[in-house]
Homo-oligomer: A and B are copies of this chain.
Amino acid sequence: MEQVKKHESNVRGYSRSFPVTFTSANGAVIHDTDHKQYIDFLAGAGALNYGHNNPFFKMKLMDYIDKNGVTHGLDLSTEAKEHFINIFNKYILEPRELKYKMQFTGPTGTNTVEAAIKLAQIVTGRTNIITFTNGYHGHSKGALRLTANAHYRKGLENELNQFTTFIPYYGFLDGDFDSADYLDKILSDSGSGTDIPAAIILETIQGEGGVNIAPKEWLQKLRRITEKHDILMIVDDIQVGCGRTGNFFSFEDAGIYPDMVTLSKSLSGYGLPMSLLLIKPEIDDWKPGQHTGTFRGNNLAFVTAAEAIIKYWKDDEFTKETLAKSSKLLRILKQIGEDHKEIITDVRGKGLIAAVECADAETASSITAEAFDNGLIIETCGSNGNIIKFLPPLNIHDNYLNEGIKIFEQAVQSINKVELV
């Protein structure tokens, strides 16, 4: 850690919360330089739905490197890329009757968001984008504008506050306020001051924003409203896509068909940088090369990504397993919430993303720090930092899931005891 502390910019984040140096990892487990083992409920901030260094993909990856498969990421056509396109189309898009074109943007979520926004603006000729309170879409300027958390906007507010309208997310306001109705109202009323936007960008569950879960009826209503007003719907599925909620896409159970979908994080299956924008063919108005970049085809990621789909998404077995684990996790967490009402104010989740909301940020960070000492990596989220977010690998073995929950419960008990005294 000395080199990191000395030479890395102040901007470094996770290495402050988890101040050790990690060496190797496998499935749900990661080790540090002192050979201490941690169960990983952070999972690369959602980038490891299939666990660390998944052995099914690892061999394919090493083979590809060994045989000198093309590595570099220019958007040339390669065998690895064509294979991925083929597999993604065959096992993901076709069975779901989704006819998207695929855009390989720079291999980060934020770049995919940038591409989606730009395309929406080009297609519609409008600049405004509707986004939501507590929305999180990345840190490059086009995406940061859409990101609500004031910490990220600090010092840049004077420029960011443009071409964006923030709408209360589901549940942001108390009472019977329905923000979908509100959106419909301001789009319908020519006195609202809200210019008709190019698109709305939407997380079905706000991951970074505090695990806020939108019900499917609300998503359906939003889809109807966007169609009514002829504005595009972009679903940012970077954190909760790729199976996190059970289905491959988080919006499947709502039965909606977004105009664009952003994917990243767990897409490569191996934690490698990769991103994908799905675009309805009728709005694929890009000029060749108009959104470009050096790493638009991370071939190593294509190799593992294709393998991940073949391994886990040929049928609905994996979805069932995830939902079974989800039931268990949520049941236990709710019991923990019941047992510690003094410090836990809410427990919620869907699939294998879950939140334990604490009374305040201090309590939450005390719990996660205690858990870390005892071998569990888990982070807080939300604009207040009072929410503990569970993101275990989807294929986590039951033993590790149980043990992780146990460490968490003990940490809660330990902190609650202190508070009760």
Contacts and interface: CB of A to CB of B under 8 A. Distances in A.
Contact of A294 (B44, B68, B209, B210): B44
A347 interface: no
Dominant SS among interface residues on chain A = loop
The listed residue with most B CB atoms (<10 A of its CB), out of A76, A109, A134, is: A76
Interface in A142-186: 142-145, 147-166, 172-173, 175-177, 182, 185-186
A79 B21 contact: yes
A336 interface: no
A22 B306 CA distance: 17
Contact of A10 (B70, B141, B272, B286): B286
Nearest to A58: B65
Contacts of A192: 133-134, 148, 166, 172
Contacts of A95: none
A79 B33 contact: yes
B69 A23 contact: yes
A23 B150 CA distance: 46
A65 to B, nearest CB: 6
Given A69-B23, A108-B295, A133-B193, A4 B82 contact: yes
Nearest to A141: B142
Given A1-B82, A108-B111, A156-B118, A22 B294 contact: no
A256 to B, nearest CB: 21
A191 B284 contact: no
A91 to B, nearest CB: 13
A131 interface: yes
A418 interface: no
Interface in A292-340: 292-295, 298, 300
B24 A69 contact: yes
18 contacts: A8-B103, A11-B284, A12-B289, A13-B288, A13-B292, A25-B69, A26-B68, A58-B65, A71-B270, A71-B271, A114-B141, A122-B155, A134-B193, A148-B193, A149-B191, A175-B175, A272-B298, A272-B300
